[in-house]
Each structure stands twice: as C-alpha cells, then as structure tokens.
C-alpha cells in the first residue's frame, strides 16, 4: 500500500520547486561603512537580469529602492542559482532589507530609466526577501565635518544623529583628557515639505535626513593640535578625532581646492555616482597625513554630493569625506546641483535656459542646513523652505584673503551679493594678506563648448571682472566644467604680459577651472568654425593648460609667493602649476614661454611646497590604512554592468 502511494505521489513531489532563499550576515553592524554578507540560493533558471535591491527603511515600496546590483555581475556562481556578495552599508538611521527580483527582457521599459537613460529594473516578480540589517546603538553620531566660523580661536563641528536628544562636543589638547572643555550643539532638521520639486519631495527620493547638530569649540590656541569627540553619555560618543586650530598669525597658507566631486556608491541607483571621488579623497588624505600638524583646509566649490533629490546620497557623501573633513575645515560654495529648481526666486529672462531643474528639487535646503560657513549670507526661497545660506562669505587665512560667491543667486549691481563683493574686495588689507583668491561655481572663463551658460558668463564679465581687475584679484577659481584648465592673466579675453625677460607686466587675475574632482560628464572643447565636431587647435592662446584628467589642486602661499599645483588622480603627482608673486606678477607659463603657449613646466622642488620630504612616509602609512575603505567600494561595477547589459553609459553635456 505504501509503495502504491509513493508511486502515485512521486511525480507530484518531483514538481515541487525549492523556494529561493536570501540571507544576510551579520544582522547588526557595528558602525556605518561596515559590510554585510548577502547570500542567495534556489534561483531557478537564473537570468542575467535578476537583480538584488537595497531598501531602507525595510518596508519601502518595491520601486523605492536605495540601489540595486545585478546578480550576474556580482557573483561568479550566479548561473547555478546561488551566490553571494558583500556590500558596505552607510547608516541611514533606519534598518536595511534586501530583495531579489526576476526581470525579463520583454519587460524592459526604456521610458523608466536612470539619468544615463539606462532602463531601471522592474519589480513585478519578487523572488526572495531577506531579514533586516541594522546598526549597533551607542556608537555615537556620524558624518562629522569641521568648518571655520570666521572668528579666531574657534572651530565648528557638525554631525548627524538619529534623534534630537542633546549632544555635545568635548575637546582638549590631550587625547582623552577633555579638561572640562565641552560645547552643547544646536540641533535642527528639514522635512519633506521643505523640498521644492521632484524627486526630492516624492517618496522615491525622500528619506529621513536625521537630526543635524552644530557645535563650536572656542577658546582655542592658534596652531595647536586638539582632540575631540561628539555625542553624549546616554547615546554614545564618536571615536576620537583631531585637528590643528586656525592660526591667524601664520605666514603660510595651505589649502586643497576642487569642484564637482560628488560621491561613490557600491550599488547602482537612479542617479550616476562619481567613482573618481574615491581617488580624490585618497590622495588628499595622503597629503594631509604628510603635512603633519600644519593647519590647512579643503575648498569644494559647488556640485557637492550630486544627490539631486535622492537624499541618501548626502549620507554617502558625508561618509566618504569624513576621513578628511573630521581633520580639517571643509568649506563649500553653492552649485547648480544643490540649488536650481523651476521656480527659484532669481531667474532673469536671460537665464531661463541656465537655471533649470539641476537641484533635483532640493532648492538648496540640504546644502544650507548640512553646512554652516562663515558670515551670514542668505536669500529667501519664496516657499516654506528655510532661506538658502552659505552663499557668499570671506575670511583671511595667513597671507591669503579668500572670497566665496554664488553664481546661482543674484550677483548683479544692486544685489546684496554684489554689494558684499565690492565692499569686501575694496577693504582687503594687502599688507596683511597680499593675495586675494575668489571662488565660485560657474566659470567666468572656459574654452569648453558650453553655450548654454554664455549669457551668464557675459554678465560676469560685464559686472564682476571689473571688480576683480580693479581690486587686483590674483586668482579666480571655478568649477562646473569637469576639467582642469588654467588661463593666462586675463582681462576681457586678453592676456596681460607676465613681465618675464624684463618686459612690463599687468596684474590681471589668473582664472583656473578646477571642476575635475569626480563627475565624469565632460563637454567638448570649443570647436573650430569649419570643423564643428573638432576642438580649436592649437587651443586658444589664453588657455595655457587644459586636460580631462581627474584630480584636485593644492595651494601654498607665503607673504612672497602663491603657488597653485594641479595633482592628477591617476598617479598623485603634480601635472601643472602656476606661481604668483605678491606684486601680482605671474610666473610659469604664458606669452613669454619661449613662444610655446601652454607648455607643461617642470615642477621644481619648491613647487612641491615642501611636500616632497613628507609625502613618501605619509603615503605609505595612509594608503595602507585607506585600503580597507577603498576596497569597500571596489564592488561598484557601474560601467561594467552597463556594458554587460548591452546599454551604453552615456556622457552628456550636463554639468
């Protein structure tokens, strides 16, 4: 009888299919950035389009994923229906879960795509879902970054936590000995209703940003190393960080400057992320360690995180920069991808094609509240959102006066910003700070073929260049164009003589485009009139050096000379430099360069600004310590995945 029953049910048993299984380990991570191991099995007839979705919070709708990975590009064993992957997770102050979906070729909808026009995966067929993964409590706040206040003997520190309960910063000259130096942090946040447009104010882009804390360490001695922690006894303290305090009396200025860096993610998402940002941070961290206990700062001139309405990318960005931003002040100015939205308050008729939807509906709110720059500049948004801050400001650092401006808000005569710039530049004490450096996002000069911004450049040339020339601005730094380009000393597109070989010289500003820190959309160079798809060759005389290489710039100045060097990310070496004397005379390159305009100059030992005897030892230590951080992102195979799917990762003219 039993044999008869077995014979009867055997065909039915053979048709029972194993359910796909998706497991995660560990279930609790000790800190943000740690990796979770994800394992799956039982995927029948696996397809190249099967994909793993990341969700936070875990109950998010299927199409509101944080990111996704294709199983076929994540594990070498995917064709067996089983595999595994390890992913570093950034704490979003909520748990994560993971889901596997079947997506078929017939269901590909090119109308539903990411910003590169690659189709976003479909969520119709759920195969498996994991348990949740969270983070240990009591580990202290995250996203720690420093800033100057504009006042001597102070340093600002900002960070993010999961609730508004009181947090503090405790600090002192000896690690672990806080000597009673404690400052209570202010706390604030922004809401979904503060966002101005999609995707920032829709469920697909909005995530709880947490509570943003802002504390000021005061009573600091100049040029002294301080240790600090942020947090509280009840909620936990962060690890100990350190910084060297601002020394206003210093005769040396050191800074690292760039634009348009963005962030990297270990997954694909709705918006292209910037893998090259990892290298930029890696080399800057090397240089910071090589410097030792010298005060310095970082300047990021617009297009900060490229979140563009997908709020978790801000978290990824601050996780990326924390190794450097917790050591030195991280100063910023606003770019189009932090601010622009359709109904922004200042949008003159000539700017209709310039100011669009680049901000992803954020309308400057995350930028304004996650950073706090010196000064008190602000402009109302015209909505329930708080006023936009951190627009224009200035400060002295050693022998350099730094000025930051906004190219996204009104800078024309009669505006508050124009009045600030005019008064500020006219008030500089050149005996105290012989050098003046102005920074903003969209460039006044570029030889890239960016015709959309032409009306804005015309207004800058008409109204701002006269201020720069009259007040002897030495250096003007710009982003937006994702390349490096250095110009001769310029006035109205005309090179001033740099006084070499006994010639007379004119102290015009040197303009440099430094938007090459991470974003890989690159416009073409200005085309030849008779060959519209080929760049002008030789390049225009005013353009002395230009390249598509990623990297950043290093600035060092004494009372006598300012040197700006371009460091390439592919090797961490200097590839271009310019020297400006306190008199305004410009050395290295230009109309007196033996007739070879734009030639690359050999970088001498002085130009390496004393880094040469620091870098070797520092880089060995830092690169070893940094390798774990970098390896966490090596799994990011965005370009490879696009290729394997047969879809091209498009580059556009967008900045």
Strand 186-188 relative to strand 211-217, pairing: antiparallel
351: helix, strand or coil = helix
Residues 6+ apart with CB under 8 A from 620: none
Q: Bigger pLDDT: 139 or 618?
A: 139
| pLDDT over threshold 80, residue 505 | no
What's the confidence (pLDDT) of residue 17? 63
Residue 334: predicted pLDDT: 98
Average pLDDT of the chain to the nearest whole number: 88
pLDDT of residue 619 exceeding 50: no
Segment 85-111, tens digit of pLDDT:
999 999 999 999 999 999 999 999 888
Residues 153/218, Cβ–Cβ less than 8 Å: yes
Q: What is the pLDDT of residue 355?
A: 96
- Write down the pLDDT at residue 176: 86
First to last CA, the chain: 77
pLDDT reported for residue 71: 97
More confident residue, 536 or 327: 327
Question: pLDDT at position 588, please?
Answer: 74
Q: How confident is the model at residue 113 (pLDDT cuts 50, 70, 90)?
A: confident
| pLDDT at residue 644 greater than cutoff 60 | no
**Is the pLDDT score of 414 beyond 70?**
yes
**Which residues neighbour 415 within 8 Å (Cβ) at sequence distance 6 or greater?**
409
pLDDT at 506: 80
Residue 9: per-residue pLDDT: 52
Closest CA to 280 of 238, 325, 312, 245: 325
pLDDT at 163 over 70: yes
- Nearest residue to 478 (alpha-carbon basis) of 636, 299, 213: 299
Same fold, 21-135 and 249-528+536-588: no
pLDDT tens by residue, 345-379 = 999 999 999 999 999 999 999 999 999 999 999 99
Q: What number is the average pLDDT over the span 134-155?
A: 95
Exposure string of 598-632, with b = 16+ CB inside 10 Å and e = fewer, is: beebebeeebbbebeebbeebbeebbeebeebeeb
Q: Cα torsion for 83, 88, 90, 95, to the nearest 10°?
A: 30
Q: Which of 146, 147, 145 is nearest to 374 (CA)?
A: 147
**Among the listed residues 555, 581, 580, the one whose alpha carbon sits nearest the alpha carbon of residue 566:** 555
Determine contact, residues 268/638, Cβ cutoff 8 Å: yes
Contact 257, 439 (CB under 8 A): yes
Residues facing residue 168 across a β-bridge: 184, 231
- Residue 232: CB atoms within 10 A of its CB come to 18
Asked if 552 contacts 256 with a C-beta cutoff of 8 angstroms, the reply is yes
Domain boundaries, the chain: 21-135, 249-528+536-588
Residues 6+ apart with CB under 8 A from 645: 48, 49, 70, 118
Q: What pLDDT, on the 0 to 100 scale, is given for residue 572?
A: 97
Question: Of residues 145 and 591, which shows the higher confidence score?
Answer: 145
pLDDT of residue 112: 86
Q: Is 179 exposed, middle or buried (0-12, 13-18, 19+ CB in 10 A)?
A: exposed
- Listed in sequence order, the residues at least 6 apart from 368 whose beta carbon sits closer than 8 Å to its beta carbon are 378, 386, 387, 388, 389, 390
* Domain 249-528+536-588 class in CATH: alpha beta
Lowest mean pLDDT among 43-52, 196-205, 212-221, 595-604: 595-604
Mean pLDDT of 442-465: 94
Each residue's pLDDT tens digit, 371-413: 999 999 999 999 999 999 999 999 999 999 999 999 999 999 9
| CATH superfamily placement of domain 21-135 | Macroglobulin (MG2) domain (2.60.40.1930)
> What is the pLDDT averaged over residues 563-592?
88
Asked whether residue 607 carries a pLDDT value surpassing 60, the answer given is: no
Of the pLDDT bands very low, low, confident and very high (cuts 50, 70, 90), residue 507 is confident
């Amino acid at each position: 009888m039993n044999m008869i029953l077995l014979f009867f049910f055997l065909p039915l048993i053979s048709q029972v299919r194993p359910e796909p299984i998706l497991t995660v380990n560990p279930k609790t991570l000790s800190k943000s950035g740690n990796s979770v191991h994800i394992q799956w099995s039982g995927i029948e007839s696996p397809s190249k389009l099967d994909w793993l979705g990341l969700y936070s919070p875990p109950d998010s709708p299927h199409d509101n994923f944080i990111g996704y990975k294709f199983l076929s590009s994540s594990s070498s064993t995917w064709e067996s229906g089983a595999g595994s992957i390890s992913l570093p997770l950034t704490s979003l102050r909520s748990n994560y879960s993971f889901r596997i979906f079947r997506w078929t070729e017939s269901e590909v909808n090119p109308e539903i795509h990411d910003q590169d026009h690659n189709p976003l995966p479909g969520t119709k067929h759920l195969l498996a879902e994991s348990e949740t993964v969270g983070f240990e409590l009591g580990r202290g706040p995250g996203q720690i970054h420093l800033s100057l206040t504009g006042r001597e003997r102070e340093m600002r520190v900002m960070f993010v936590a999961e609730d508004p309960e009181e947090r503090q910063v405790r600090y002192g000259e000896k690690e672990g000995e806080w000597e009673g130096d404690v400052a209570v942090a202010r706390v604030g946040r922004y809401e979904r209703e503060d966002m101005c447009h999609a995707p920032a104010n829709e469920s697909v882009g909005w995530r709880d940003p947490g509570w943003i804390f802002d504390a000021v360490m005061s009573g600091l001695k100049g040029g002294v190393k301080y240790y600090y922690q942020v947090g509280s006894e009840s909620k936990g303290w962060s690890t100990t960080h350190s910084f060297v305090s601002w020394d206003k009396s210093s005769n040396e200025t050191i800074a690292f400057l760039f634009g348009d860096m963005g962030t990297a993610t270990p997954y694909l998402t709705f918006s292209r992320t910037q893998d090259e940002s990892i290298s930029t941070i890696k080399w800057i961290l090397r240089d910071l360690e090589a410097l030792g206990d010298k005060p310095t700062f970082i300047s990021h001139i617009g297009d900060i995180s490229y979140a563009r309405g997908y709020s978790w990318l801000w978290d990824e960005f601050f996780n990326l920069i924390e190794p450097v931003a917790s050591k030195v002040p991280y100063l910023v100015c606003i770019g189009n991808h932090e601010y622009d939205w359709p109904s922004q308050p200042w949008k003159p008729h000539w700017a209709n094609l310039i100011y669009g939807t680049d901000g992803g509906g954020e309308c400057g709110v995350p930028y304004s509240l996650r950073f706090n720059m010196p000064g008190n500049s602000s402009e109302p948004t015209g909505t329930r959102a708080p006023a936009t801050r951190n627009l224009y400001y200035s400060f002295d650092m050693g022998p350099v006066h730094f000025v930051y401006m906004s190219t996204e808000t009104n800078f024309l005569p009669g505006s508050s910003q124009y009045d600030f710039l005019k008064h500020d530049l006219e008030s500089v004490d050149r005996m105290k700070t012989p050098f003046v450096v102005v920074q903003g996002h969209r460039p006044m000069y570029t030889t890239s073929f960016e015709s959309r911004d032409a009306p804005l450049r015309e207004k800058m040339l008409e109204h701002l260049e006269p201020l720069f020339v009259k007040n002897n601005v030495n250096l003007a730094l710009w982003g937006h164009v994702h390349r490096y380009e250095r110009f001769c000393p310029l006035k109205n597109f005309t090179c001033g003589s740099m006084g070499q070989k006994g010639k007379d010289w004119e102290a015009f500003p040197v303009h440099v485009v430094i938007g090459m820190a991470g974003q890989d959309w690159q416009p073409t160079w200005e085309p030849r009139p008779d060959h519209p798809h080929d760049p002008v060759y030789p390049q225009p005389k005013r353009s002395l050096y230009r390249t598509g290489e990623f990297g950043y710039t290093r600035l060092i100045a004494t009372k006598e000379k300012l040197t700006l060097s371009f460091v390439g990310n592919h090797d961490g070496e200097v590839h271009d430099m310019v020297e400006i004397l306190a008199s305004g005379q410009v050395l290295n390159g230009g109309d007196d360069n033996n007739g070879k305009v734009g030639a690359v100059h050999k970088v001498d030992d002085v130009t390496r600004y004393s880094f040469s005897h620091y870098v070797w030892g520092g880089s060995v230590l830092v690169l070893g310590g940094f390798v774990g951080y970098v390896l966490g992102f090596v799994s990011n195979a965005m370009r490879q995945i696009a290729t394997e799917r047969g879809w091209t990762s498009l580059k556009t003219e967008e900045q």
